[in-house]
Every structure is written in C-alpha cells, then in structure tokens.
C-alpha cells in the first residue's frame, strides 16, 4: 500500500510518523499563505488545499477505516459533519438578514442613529463606531460591515467629510462587535460551538471586552485622524442636511417592515434560549430564515442566491484541511510544545495561546487561525490544561488580532475595498499597520491583562458538559 511506502519511524515511542505531519503541515501552511497574500481567492485556496490534504492523508494511511465505514467516509464526512452547525448558522442567518434588509429596517435604524449626531463630525464618528458594534452584534460581521460601510460612504459624501477616518472606524470596531454574543462573528460562533460555551456566558466574559476594545479603538482613531475629524464648516448646514435624511426611504411595505422586526427579535431571543432548550443555534437560525421566507412573500430562489456560498465552500475546505492535519498528529505535537514552553502552567499556557493568536491573526485571516487552534485546545485539555480559559482566550484574541493588517479580518477587506472603489481613496499597508497595529497592541495588552485577572480571581464560567 502507498501508506507503507511513506511511513517513517516515529521520533519518540508512541508518536505518529513524522513525514505525514510534515507534508500535511506544509499543505496547510501553503494554503494559509495563498489566503494571506491573496494568490488565490480564499475559497478556491481552501478547496485546493482540502483536495491535496485528503490525497496526502489517504496516501500516508492517516485516515483509518472502521467497521462499515471506509477510511475516507470515517474521516472526511465526520470532519464536515462535526462542524455542520457553523455552516447551518451561516446559511440560516444569511437568508434572514437578506430579507430583513429588504424590508428597509437596517437603513431605518442606521439613519435614526446618524440623525442624533446633527452632522457633528466627532459625534458622527462616535455614533458610526457604536452603530457598527450594534449591527455586527445582531447581524454578524459581514452583513453588519457591509451595511455600515454603505451608510458611512453616503453620509460622509452628503456632509462633504473625509470618508477615510469613518471607514477605518467601521473596519476596526466591527471586530469588537463580533465579541458581544455567541453568534456575532464567525470566529466567535466557531469557537463557541467547539468549546460548548453557553450563550449567556458571553455577556459575562466577552461583551465587556467588546465595549472596552471599541472604546480604545475610538479614542485612538480620534487621535490619529484629529484633523480630519475637526469641527470645520457650517454646523447649522450639516445639521440641516442630516435632518433631511429620510429613514423611511427604503421601507416599501410597512407590514413587512414590522414583521421583519418581530422575526429578527424572535430569532435573537431564540439564540439566547437555544442551549437551555437543548437545540443548536443553527436550528434557530433556520427557523428565523424560514419564518422570514414564509411571511415576506419573497421567492425562495431569490433569497437562496443571497447566501454567501463562497464562505460556505471556504469553511468546508478549511475544516477538511485542519481535520486531516489533526489526524496526522501534528496539532497534538504543537499543543505539547506550547504546554512545554509554558512549563505546564495553565495560566501561562492561556496567555501564550492568546499572544500567539493575536500575533498570527493579523498575518493570516483570523478565521483559519481560530479554526486551527480548536483541535490544539482540545489536545491541551486532554493533557490536563483547563479548557475554559483557553476557549475564552481564543474568542478574544482571534477577533481583535485581525485589526493589525488590512487582510486580518473580513471587515477590513470589505471597508477598504469599498473606500477605494467608491471614493478612489486607497489606504496603504503602511498606514493601516500604523493605525490598526498600534490599536491592536493596546487591545492586546488589555486582553492579556483581562484574561490574567479572570484567571487570578477564578471568574471564568464552567463550560456546559465540562
């Protein structure tokens, strides 16, 4: 068999062969580099990486068969099935958010918020930052960022304000918004599901960090862009323009508007109650999406087209790659190395994991970084390290670490692309790193101190089933 040809002697008795670890690790690294440097679309890179990983794993005999199941079925199908809940939430919420968006509700809320600022540049900056956190909290990071970027470009154009400071605010504050609830961000959802974290525990652990980190970002952005945000021009004229904004402009059917509000509210309540009811939040997401379809009158095919299928394909490829690497034993080995560096100390291990993820999430998209650390944390738990602090460290670090570079998170990619396309303004890597990098350093220091205090005072909640 091919597996016999490639097998090599383990370096330590009981360890798995080294060559499969090296090859599969190289495939994963090459995939992440292709994503980080945009050599390929990230979904295509993930799918190609998954194909290469499966071929390599089969050749090396990494996948093992079980009674009634081939090695491929047992490994690949189990890997995808294990993370199906994440994909279900993405599909369900995509349908719900699209239909609610068509009702005009998000535009209505955004304009209402902006009108409270009366066009004052500083108040507008604060309002857009907080509105971004709010929209990402309830809509997840991609649709929340898209809505806020669109609104920001329109408002700044009408008020003749420089768009860059406000767009940078949306890009960076979106990652804070992703921390508020279990379902606010892709990383948060993925890690919360993997760690079996309770929805209500996010309000105790990550929600305070969401607002603390957003506060740091808003304060530092105001300092970086002080001149652009200064109160110049006619305040009365700006106030008059803002007052003329019509929040009802995109509301074509008020019955659909109110129905959408009720369905969205019900879905959010459902997310909170999912774990006590013993169902997954993917089920709640599908219920919300189905209710929206049922009462909106929108044809199913039209709504399904709005699902971001490239993201779904990206996750499938990513999960398969990581699952194959995990089967090789490489991630278990990495977990042992990190524990050894920390001297087996649980608190130091937690801080090391957080620091590692904060640094790496800016170089590679924070989603694959978070996904890769999931099996490493599980391995650490099997080796006696308490898992709860590690899961919370990942939640905080993976989301905020993406602020350091233009490709670290989806919100930055969306915001900077729109700014360049609509206004012809390009934010260089140097400028973004100077702004986002310093904000990330401040947020990272806060995260490490926050985690240390939680560990010292034993404030981490106990994981359900843990």
pLDDT in tens, 441-461: 999 999 999 999 999 999 999
Residue 38's pLDDT is 82
SS3 of residue 83 by DSSP = coil
In degrees, to the nearest 5, what angle opens at C-alpha 417 toward C-alphas 209 and 431?
65
pLDDT band at residue 173, thresholds of 50, 70 and 90?
Answer: very high
376 Cβ neighbours under 8 A, 6+ residues apart:
331, 334, 335, 338, 353
Residue 67's pLDDT is 62
* Euclidean distance between CA atoms 112 and 115, whole angstroms: 5
Indicate the range of 79-93, 262-276, 354-368, 409-423 predicted with least confidence: 79-93
Residue 205 pLDDT greater than 50, yes or no = yes
Residue 464 pLDDT greater than 60, yes or no = no
Residue 142's pLDDT is 83
Residue 119 pLDDT greater than 50, yes or no = yes
pLDDT band at residue 68, thresholds of 50, 70 and 90?
Answer: low
Measured from the Cβ of residue 384, the count of other Cβ atoms closer than 10 Å reads 9
Residue 7 pLDDT greater than 60, yes or no = no
Residue 9's pLDDT is 37
| Token digits of residue 428 | 């260089």
134 Cβ neighbours under 8 A, 6+ residues apart:
177
* Euclidean distance between CA atoms 187 and 81, whole angstroms: 18
Residues 225, 164 contacting (CB under 8 angstroms): yes
Phi-psi domain of 160 (left: phi exceeds 0; alpha: psi -120 through 50; beta: other): left
User: CA torsion angle for 331, 334, 340, 345 (degrees, to 10)?
Assistant: -60
* pLDDT tens string 126-170: 999 999 999 999 888 888 898 899 899 989 998 989 999 999 999
Residue 463's pLDDT is 60
* pLDDT tens string 377-400: 999 999 999 999 999 999 999 999
Residue 15's pLDDT is 62
Residue 178 pLDDT greater than 90, yes or no = yes
| Token digits of residue 191 | 């890690």
* Euclidean distance between CA atoms 87 and 77, whole angstroms: 14
Rank 289-293, 329-333, 391-395 by mean pLDDT and report only the highest: 391-395
The H or E element containing residue 114 is helix 105-115
Residue 14 pLDDT greater than 70, yes or no = no
| Token digits of residue 252 | 């074509």
Residue 355's pLDDT is 96
How high does pLDDT run on average in the chain?
88
Residues 376, 349 contacting (CB under 8 angstroms): no
User: CA torsion angle for 411, 417, 419, 423 (degrees, to 10)?
Assistant: -170
Spell out a b/e string for 434-456, using b for 16 or more CB atoms within 10 Å of the CB, else e. Answer: ebbbebbebbbebbbebbeebbe
Q: What is the mean pLDDT of residues 284-288?
A: 90
Residue 312's pLDDT is 84
Residue 2's pLDDT is 33
419 Cβ neighbours under 8 A, 6+ residues apart:
149, 153, 163, 164, 167, 425, 426, 427
CA–CA distances in Å: residue 40 to residues 25, 33, 171, 246, 310: 19, 10, 23, 41, 13
Burial of 426 (0-12, 13-18, 19+ CB in 10 A): exposed
Residue 171's pLDDT is 96
Residue 1 pLDDT greater than 50, yes or no = no
Residues 180, 210 contacting (CB under 8 angstroms): yes
Residues 412, 436 contacting (CB under 8 angstroms): yes
Residue 306's pLDDT is 72
* Euclidean distance between CA atoms 216 and 403, whole angstroms: 12
Q: What is the mean pLDDT of residues 70-84?
A: 75
* Euclidean distance between CA atoms 5 and 59, whole angstroms: 9
Residue 12's pLDDT is 44
Give the per-residue SS3 of 180-217: CCCCCCHHHHHHHHHCCCCCCHHHHHHHHHHHHHHHHH
- Percent of the chain whose predicted confidence (pLDDT) is above 70: 95
Indicate the range of 72-86, 371-385, 409-423 predicted with least confidence: 72-86
């Amino acid at each position: 068999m091919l597996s016999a040809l490639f097998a090599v002697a383990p370096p330590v008795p009981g360890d798995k062969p080294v060559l499969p670890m090296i090859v599969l690790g190289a495939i994963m690294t090459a995939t992440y580099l292709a994503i980080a440097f945009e050599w390929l679309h990230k979904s295509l890179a993930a799918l190609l990486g998954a194909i290469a990983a499966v071929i390599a794993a089969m050749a090396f005999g990494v996948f093992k068969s079980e009674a009634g199941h081939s090695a491929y079925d047992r490994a690949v199908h189990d890997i995808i099935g294990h993370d199906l809940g994440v994909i279900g939430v993405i599909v369900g919420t995509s349908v719900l958010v699209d239909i609610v968006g068509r009702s005009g509700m998000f535009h209505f809320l955004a304009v209402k918020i902006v009108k409270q600022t009366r066009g004052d540049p500083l108040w507008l900056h604060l309002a857009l930052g907080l509105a971004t956190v709010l929209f990402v909290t309830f809509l997840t990071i991609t649709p929340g960022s898209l809505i806020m970027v669109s609104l920001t470009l329109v408002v700044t154009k009408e008020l003749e304000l420089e768009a860059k400071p406000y767009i940078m605010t949306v890009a960076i504050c979106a990652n804070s918004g992703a921390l508020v609830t279990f379902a606010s961000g892709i990383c948060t959802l993925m890690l919360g599901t993997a760690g079996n974290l309770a929805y209500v525990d996010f309000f105790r652990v990550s929600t305070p960090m969401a607002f603390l980190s957003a506060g740091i970002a808003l304060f530092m952005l105001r300092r970086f862009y002080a001149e652009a945000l200064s109160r110049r021009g006619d305040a009365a004229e700006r106030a008059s323009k803002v007052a003329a904004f019509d929040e009802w402009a995109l509301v074509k059917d008020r019955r659909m508007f109110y129905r959408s509000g009720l369905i969205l509210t019900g879905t959010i309540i459902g997310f909170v109650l999912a774990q006590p009811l013993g169902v997954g939040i993917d089920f709640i997401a599908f219920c919300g999406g189905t209710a929206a379809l049922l009462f909106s009158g929108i044809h199913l095919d039209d709504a399904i087209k709005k699902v971001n299928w490239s993201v779904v394909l990206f996750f499938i490829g990513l999960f398969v790659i990581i699952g194959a690497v995990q089967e090789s034993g490489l991630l278990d080995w990495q977990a042992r190395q990190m524990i050894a560096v920390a001297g087996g100390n649980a608190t130091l291990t937690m801080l090391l994991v957080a620091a590692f993820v904060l640094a790496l999430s800016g170089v590679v998209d924070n989603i694959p970084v978070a996904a890769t650390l999931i099996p490493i944390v599980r391995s650490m738990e099997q080796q006696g390290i308490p898992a709860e602090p590690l899961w919370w460290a990942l939640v905080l670090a993976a989301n905020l670490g993406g602020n350091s570079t233009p490709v670290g998170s989806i919100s930055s990619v969306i915001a900077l692309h729109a700014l360049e396309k609509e206004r012809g303004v390009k934010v260089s890597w140097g400028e973004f790193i100077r702004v986002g990098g310093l904000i990330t350093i401040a947020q990272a220091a806060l995260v490490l101190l926050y985690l240390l205090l939680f560990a010292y005072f034993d404030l981490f909640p106990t994981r359900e089933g843990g």
